[in-house]
Amino acid sequence: MSRASEPLDPLDLKLLQALQTDGRAPFSRFAEVLGVSDQTVARRYRRLRATAGLRVLGMTDDSLLGRQSWLVRLRCTPDVAEQVAGALARRPDTSYVGLISGGTEVICAMKPRSGEERDELLFGRLPRTPRVISVSAHCLLHSYYGGPLGWLSKLQALDPGEEAALTRPPVEPAPAPVVLDAEDEALLAVLRRDGRTPLTELQTSTGQTESAVKRRLDRLRSSGILYFDVQHDRDLLGHATDAMLWLTVAPSAVAAVGRALAAHPEVGFAAAITGQANVVASVICRDTRALYAYLSERIGVLDGVQTVETTLTLRQVKQLTYEPAR
């Protein structure tokens, strides 16, 4: 059996959750908290990159930059769905693209930098794309779970003491939308490709001094604009069923349902959105039996939930950064 097909062991899981807790902590810090050597942490990290698709990526909270985030659903004829998904994945303003519903529907998470970019895609390019049958766009109004709190935060691989030791101080979001300068943008562009890029490489890539890079990193992180997310192969964690839930919830119950979803171990993302389905959640389960149990026993008992549409993600074409599906 190859290492890539073996389940992850407890130390692997601890390292994954530790990276989600603080994606830029040095290996020496992880080693100290986990009670292993620096070399062990470095070796495990390299192996997880090779076998589990591990990547730590710098992300921005666009709401703090005064930008909107959107979920876009496209129904296509089967012969073009993959082509459309691939084209969306190559766009720099998309962070996630998946094929769902028998391969005839594409879902896309979009973070346009301006209203013009949004309109160019939603009103121009997509409606004119041949064999795209319908387009529905949903603006994210409020996030209940996601961003720096990824699904790995719920692994419970770390004990409370280990998690507390690695947790950074709470961020203090800026009171008004922040405007990034050219130096900020240059730094963020490198971190989007690899959130653990060493300071010396950040200095070389951006042309800034090491002290300037440190100051910008600290400012962007402490304000909540910059956070780090962990990309990985979920199958190796024994969770092979990925689904999106589109919930229609009574307006008076939206906040309560959102908070309940955020507490569920299965939920990696939950938000209030525009549209008939006014709450969306991404859930990860071991298999379809576990998904059925979750829908019937956890979702079905939530007060205020009127309808639920469930769509299985057949394949992720893009997760955070573009990588063509193998």
Domain coordinates in residue numbering, the chain: 63-141, 144-155+234-313, 179-222
Q: Which fold has domain 63-141?
A: Alpha-Beta Plaits (3.30.70)
Cα distance between residue 109 and residue 76, in whole Å: 17
Q: Which fold has domain 144-155+234-313?
A: Alpha-Beta Plaits (3.30.70)
pLDDT tens digits in sequence order for the chain, 326 residues long = 344 456 789 999 999 999 999 999 999 999 999 999 999 999 999 999 999 889 999 999 988 998 899 999 999 998 899 999 999 999 888 989 999 977 789 999 998 888 888 888 888 888 888 889 999 999 999 999 998 888 999 999 999 999 999 999 988 877 778 889 999 999 999 999 999 999 999 999 999 999 999 999 999 999 999 999 999 888 778 888 999 999 999 999 999 999 999 999 999 999 999 999 999 999 999 999 999 999 999 999 999 999 999 999 998 898 765 343 33
Q: CB of 302 within 8 A of CB of 260?
A: yes
Query: Is 63-141's fold the same as 144-155+234-313's?
Result: yes
Crossing angle of helices 199-206 and 182-193, rounded to 10°: 130
Instruction: Specify the pLDDT at position 325.
Output: 35
pTM over 0.85: yes
Q: What is the CATH number of domain 179-222?
A: 1.10.10.10
- DSSP line for 62-120: GGGGT---EEEEEEE-TTTHHHHHHHHHTSTTEEEEEEEGGGTEEEEEE--SSHHHHHI
Q: CB of 138 within 8 A of CB of 278?
A: no
